[in-house]
């Protein structure tokens, strides 16, 4: 499998990336693609088309923070889902980031949520494939997210500072990240 870096619309894989990106992520969770491409040109964002034997498999997008980078997006083309590609990609990501702290956000598992099964499956998938539960809950877009890392402990200040470095203070203020707490329950 190849990770092909994309930094302009003329790349032959760009249309695949753009289509999958817009189909896979709700509009409120998407960054503007032109902004991502501009940041990719100056090495602040890494957009990758995942390709195997000249077939588009999926995409990953990473933003460069200071201490931590942000694993913004992972999507597998629907024609190639449930074939083990996600696990293979995550193993490659952990190798790529073995010397650089990395975090990602997933909707916090919640048995009362309308998509409780999906949330739990996503959590189990990332944990099974080597990511670590930070036990830190944050709120963005009025949604509670759990932060997972590549094994490096993260603080809320690290989290906010990574966004400020990657996307600027105004964007981070617009997101209005709120620390909710830890998923670790104190013992009585």
Tell me if 28 is assigned to some domain.
yes
Tell me if 15 is assigned to some domain.
yes
Tell me if 187 is assigned to some domain.
no
Tell me if 34 is assigned to some domain.
yes
Tell me if 89 is assigned to some domain.
yes
Tell me if 51 is assigned to some domain.
yes
Element (H, E) at 91: helix 85-96
Tell me if 188 is assigned to some domain.
no
pTM above 0.85, yes or no: yes
Question: How far is the C-alpha of 95 from the C-alpha of 178, rounded, in Å?
Answer: 30
Number of independent structural domains in the chain: 1
CATH number at residue 46: 3.40.630.30
Q: Which domain holds residue 57?
A: 2-182
Going residue by residue through the chain, which has 188 residues, state the pLDDT in tens, using 9 for 90 and above. Answer: 999 999 999 999 999 999 999 999 988 889 999 999 999 999 999 999 999 999 999 999 999 998 999 999 999 999 999 999 999 999 999 999 999 999 999 999 999 999 999 999 999 999 999 999 999 999 987 889 999 999 999 999 999 999 999 999 988 888 889 999 888 876 64
β-pairing verdict for 143-149 and 102-107: antiparallel
């Amino acid at each position: 499998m190849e990770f092909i870096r994309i930094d302009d619309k003329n790349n032959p894989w760009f249309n695949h990336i753009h289509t999958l990106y817009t189909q896979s992520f709700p509009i409120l969770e998407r960054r503007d693609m032109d902004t991502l491409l501009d940041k990719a040109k100056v090495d602040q964002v890494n957009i990758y088309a995942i390709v195997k034997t000249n077939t588009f498999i999926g995409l990953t997008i990473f933003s460069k923070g200071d201490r931590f980078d942000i694993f913004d997006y992972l999507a597998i083309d629907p024609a190639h889902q449930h074939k083990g590609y996600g696990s293979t990609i995550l193993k490659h990501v952990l190798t790529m980031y073995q010397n650089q702290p990395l975090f990602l956000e997933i909707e916090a598992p919640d048995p009362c949520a309308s998509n409780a099964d999906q949330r739990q499956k996503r959590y189990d998938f990332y944990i099974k494939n080597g990511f670590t539960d930070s036990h830190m809950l944050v709120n963005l877009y009025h949604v509670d997210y759990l932060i997972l890392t590549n094994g490096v402990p993260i603080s809320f200040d690290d989290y906010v500072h990574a966004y400020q470095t990657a996307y600027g203070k105004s964007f981070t203020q617009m997101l209005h990240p709120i620390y909710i707490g830890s998923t670790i329950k104190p013992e009585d």
